[in-house]
């Protein structure tokens, strides 16, 4: 980090009234993208995928985490684990597509086999044809490399460096804020998941999600019942930020049907709902009758896949009889998130303007966005 | 007789490999091992036993426990020491 870059970061961490946003290079410079992988993603808890991606025992699925090949496995012991997707022999990729394993993880190259805890189970012909052991090959030291992971609310988080505080501490303030929602959730199924691909840096998706300032302009339809003045900022320095609404209304079908509510929620949630980005890359929404999560997958510096999944409060909401309601709900959210695409893509284009200086923040409306910038800048500043 | 049986197994093996049919592969390799055993060719038998064992493991077949035991008896495989996760408990070493 040179002096100029250091100076720019110092400007980001000023109070919101004086601060500038992150400079263009954080959205366009491959060198900074590389540094960001380490400081922002690998040193923290990043969202990798959903538990529902591997719903059954033995389900394995490969994921790339900013270029790092990983796979997730719901072991036959019921535990979700994340492994580096690489054989300890000659480094072959182990899981090339989503599959259900009946037995071990077999490397497709020379068939070294690993059990569901990653332990090396056998090494066929390693001592010559028909000889499966060799003194030089100590199986106990050649298990799969497991990546530190934690599942919260069906989101699989990973800490690649292994150095972050325990997830429960890392996300403590948000877990506490939404403590009433710490209860089982039920994935709505195929009709309750969708993906959006946007030509933007992942950070712009976070920034846009955090604030309600744009609602009347970008989501005029939403604004008719969710007015700007019915929103408030959520800012937890160093952890998460977003917005809340005072006027959430649950969906009611023509026949008066509603989704079940979560158990025992306080009065705040009768018409309240909250939306927060848990840094770095997961966007969450909680409502009396549903939750959703958007995992931002940075597929390139200027490309982001948004993976959306909607969860409900009771297993009954998974029934076929609720499919119409679920579909309508998913369509509604999809419509809203699609309305945001042109701004996150437009801002990305804007980051190529030589004389853009990071921009300014509304001290009143942009606090949550600035909080995110502040966090990102701090990750760079604390890096050695 | 034996040579013809080996040819037959070879043909079926190729077809099973093409289908990616692990349980069948395990059975065929085990049969091939049996034929080599009859010929007194321990090395060849253990090669095929290993193949059978790996495909049985991958398919999660209970049979893999017995196959591993045969390999261990021939000094070709080690006893399992750690608790094995994700495969049948039949593989756990006898206490
Ligand atoms: S690379 Fe995996 S067994 Fe050789
Ligand atoms: Fe929006």
Structure tokens at A272: 């309240």
Determine, for residues B54 and A119 on separate chains, whether the beta-carbon distance falls below 8 Å. Answer: no
Report the distance separating Cα B69 and Cα B90, nearest Å: 11
Provide the domain limits for residue A262: 172-382
Residue A377 within any structural domain of the chain: yes
Report the distance separating Cα A54 and Cα A52, nearest Å: 5
Query: Does any CB of chain B come closer than 8 Å to the CB of residue A315?
Result: no
Report the distance separating Cα A48 and Cα A83, nearest Å: 12
Beta bridge partners of A146: A83
Determine, for residues B86 and A122 on separate chains, whether the beta-carbon distance falls below 8 Å. Answer: no
Does the Cβ of A185 fall within 6 Å of ligand 1?
Answer: no
| Cα distances (angstroms) measured from residue A183 to each of A6, A152, B3 | 43, 11, 65
Confidence (pLDDT) at A88: 98
Q: Would you place residue A227 in the very low, low, confident or very high pLDDT band (cuts 50, 70, 90)? A: confident
Quick one: which atom of ligand 1 is closest to the CA of A90?
1
Does the Cβ of A121 fall within 6 Å of ligand 1?
Answer: no
Does the Cβ of A87 fall within 6 Å of ligand 1?
Answer: yes
A247 lies in the same domain as A359: yes
A66, A36 contact by CB (below 8 A) = no
Neighboring chain B residues of A76 at a CB cutoff of 8 Å: 85-87
Confidence (pLDDT) at A289: 97
Q: Would you place residue A225 in the very low, low, confident or very high pLDDT band (cuts 50, 70, 90)? A: low
Does the Cβ of A144 fall within 6 Å of ligand 1?
Answer: no
Residue A108 within any structural domain of the chain: yes
Determine, for residues A106 and B57 on separate chains, whether the beta-carbon distance falls below 8 Å. Answer: yes
Report the distance separating Cα B74 and Cα A333, nearest Å: 62
Confidence (pLDDT) at B86: 66
Does the Cβ of A86 fall within 6 Å of ligand 1?
Answer: no
Mean pLDDT check: name the lowest of A230-239, A294-303, A361-370.
A230-239
Best A56, A77, A122 member to test B by mutation, with max B CBs in 10 Å, is A122
A242 lies in the same domain as A190: yes
Report the distance separating Cα B23 and Cα B58, nearest Å: 9
The pLDDT profile of chain B, 95 residues, written as one tens digit per residue, is 478 888 999 999 999 999 999 999 999 999 999 999 999 999 999 999 999 999 999 999 999 999 999 999 999 999 886 666 766 543 444 33
Confidence (pLDDT) at A224: 64
A372, A210 contact by CB (below 8 A) = yes
**Helix or strand or coil: residue A121?**
strand
Quick one: which atom of ligand 1 is closest to the CA of A112?
3
Structure tokens at B16: 């099973």
CA A185–ligand 2 middle distance (angstroms): 25
Does the Cβ of A125 fall within 6 Å of ligand 1?
Answer: no
Q: A49-58: per-residue pLDDT in tens?
A: 999 999 999 9
Report the distance separating Cα A55 and Cα B54, nearest Å: 26
The torsion of the CA quartet A193, A184, A50, A323, rounded to 10 degrees, works out to -20
A120 lies in the same domain as A195: no
Does the Cβ of A92 fall within 6 Å of ligand 1?
Answer: yes
A253 lies in the same domain as A293: yes
Of all residues in chain B, the one with the smallest CA distance to A129 is B47
A189 lies in the same domain as A134: no
Does the Cβ of A94 fall within 6 Å of ligand 1?
Answer: no
Q: What is the DSSP letter of A237?
A: T
A379, A239 contact by CB (below 8 A) = no
Angle between helices A367-382 and A3-12 (to 10 degrees): 150
Chosen domain end from A128, A159, A190: A159
Domains of chain B, residue spans: 3-73
Report the distance separating Cα A61 and Cα A124, nearest Å: 25
Report the distance separating Cα A163 and Cα A166, nearest Å: 9
Residue A204 within any structural domain of the chain: yes
Q: Would you place residue A4 in the very low, low, confident or very high pLDDT band (cuts 50, 70, 90)? A: confident
Residue A219 within any structural domain of the chain: yes
| pLDDT at residue A243 greater than cutoff 50 | yes
Of all residues in chain A, the one with the smallest CA distance to B74 is A131
Determine, for residues B59 and A106 on separate chains, whether the beta-carbon distance falls below 8 Å. Answer: no
Q: A289-345: per-residue pLDDT in tens?
A: 999 999 999 999 999 999 999 999 999 999 999 999 999 999 999 999 999 999 999
Q: Would you place residue A384 in the very low, low, confident or very high pLDDT band (cuts 50, 70, 90)? A: confident
Number of structural domains (chain A) is 2
Kindly report the protein residue whose alpha carbon is nearest to atom 1 of ligand 1.
Answer: A90
CATH number at residue A131: 2.102.10.10
Residues 15-74 of A with CB under 8 A from B: 58
Single pTM value for the model: 0.95
Report the distance separating Cα A204 and Cα A346, nearest Å: 10
Angle between helices A341-350 and A202-210 (to 10 degrees): 120
Chosen domain end from A159, A193, A210: A159
| pLDDT at residue A117 greater than cutoff 60 | yes
Which-ligand-closest: CA of A223?
2
Which of A59-73, A208-222, B73-87 has the highest average model confidence (pLDDT)? A59-73
Going by C-beta distance under 8 Å and a sequence separation of 6 or more, which residues neighbour residue A179? none
A140 lies in the same domain as A254: no
User: What is the β-pairing status of strands A80-84 and A146-152?
Assistant: antiparallel
Residue A186 within any structural domain of the chain: yes
Quick one: which atom of ligand 1 is closest to the CA of A94?
2
Determine, for residues B59 and A140 on separate chains, whether the beta-carbon distance falls below 8 Å. Answer: no
Give me the residue from A75, A113, A129 closest to B43, CB to CB.
A129
Q: Which of A71, A88, A90, A105 to mutate to test the pocket of ligand 1 (most atoms within 8 A of CB)?
A: A90
ipTM for the assembly: 0.90
A152 lies in the same domain as A186: no
Quick one: which atom of ligand 1 is closest to the CA of A123?
3
Contacts of A262-265 with CB under 8 Å at 24 or more apart are A262/A180, A262/A181, A262/A183, A262/A288, A262/A289, A262/A313, A263/A183, A263/A313, A264/A180, A265/A180, A265/A181
Best B53, B70, B85 member to test A by mutation, with max A CBs in 10 Å, is B85
A191 lies in the same domain as A340: yes
Q: Residue for token digits 């994935």?
A: A187
């Amino acid at each position: 980090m040179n002096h100029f870059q250091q100076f720019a970061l110092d400007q980001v961490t000023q109070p919101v009234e004086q601060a500038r946003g992150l400079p263009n290079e954080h959205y366009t410079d491959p060198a900074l993208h590389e540094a960001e992988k380490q400081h922002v993603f690998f040193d923290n808890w990043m969202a990798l995928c959903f538990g529902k991606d591997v719903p059954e025992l033995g389900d394995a699925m490969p994921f790339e985490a900013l270029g790092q090949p990983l796979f997730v496995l719901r072991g036959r012991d019921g535990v979700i684990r994340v492994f580096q997707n690489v054989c300890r022999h000659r480094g072959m990729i182990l899981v090339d597509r989503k599959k259900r394993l009946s037995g071990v993880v077999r490397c497709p190259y020379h068939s070294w086999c690993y059990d569901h805890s990653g332990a090396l189970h056998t090494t066929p012909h390693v001592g010559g044809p028909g000889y499966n052991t060799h003194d030089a090959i100590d199986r106990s030291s050649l298990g799969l490399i497991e990546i530190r992971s934690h599942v919260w609310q069906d989101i699989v988080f990973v800490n690649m460096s292994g150095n972050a505080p325990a997830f429960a501490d890392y996300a403590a303030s948000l877990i506490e804020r939404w403590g009433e929602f710490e209860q089982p959730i039920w994935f709505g199924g195929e009709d309750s998941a969708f993906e959006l691909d946007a030509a933007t840096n992942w950070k712009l998706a976070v920034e846009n999600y955090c604030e309600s300032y744009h609602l009347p302009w970008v989501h005029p339809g939403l604004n008719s019942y969710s007015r700007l003045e019915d929103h408030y900022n959520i800012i937890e320095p160093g952890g998460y930020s977003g917005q809340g609404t005072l006027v959430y209304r649950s969906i009611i079908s023509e026949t008066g049907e509603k989704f079940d509510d979560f158990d025992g929620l306080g009065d705040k949630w009768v018409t309240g709902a909250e939306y927060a980005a848990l840094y770095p890359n997961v966007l969450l929404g909680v409502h009396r009758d549903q939750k959703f999560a958007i995992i931002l997958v940075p597929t390139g510096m200027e490309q982001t896949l948004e993976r959306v999944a909607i969860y409900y409060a009771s297993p009954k909401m998974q029934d076929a009889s609720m499919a119409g309601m679920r579909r309508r709900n998913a369509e509604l959210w999809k419509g809203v998130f699609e309305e945001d695409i042109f701004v996150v893509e437009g801002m990305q284009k804007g980051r190529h303007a030589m004389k853009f200086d990071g921009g300014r923040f509304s001290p009143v409306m942009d606090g949550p966005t600035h909080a995110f910038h502040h966090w990102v800048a701090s990750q760079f500043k604390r890096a050695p | 007789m034996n040579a013809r049986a080996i040819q037959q197994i070879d043909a079926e093996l190729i077809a099973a490999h093409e289908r990616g049919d692990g349980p069948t592969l395990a059975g065929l390799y085990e049969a091939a091992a049996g034929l080599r055993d009859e010929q007194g060719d321990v090395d060849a038998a253990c090669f095929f036993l290993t193949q059978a064992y790996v495909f049985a493991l991958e398919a999660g077949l209970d049979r893999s426990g017995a196959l591993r035991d045969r390999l261990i008896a021939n000094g070709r495989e080690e006893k399992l020491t750690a608790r094995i996760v994700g495969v049948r408990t039949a593989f756990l070493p006898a206490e």
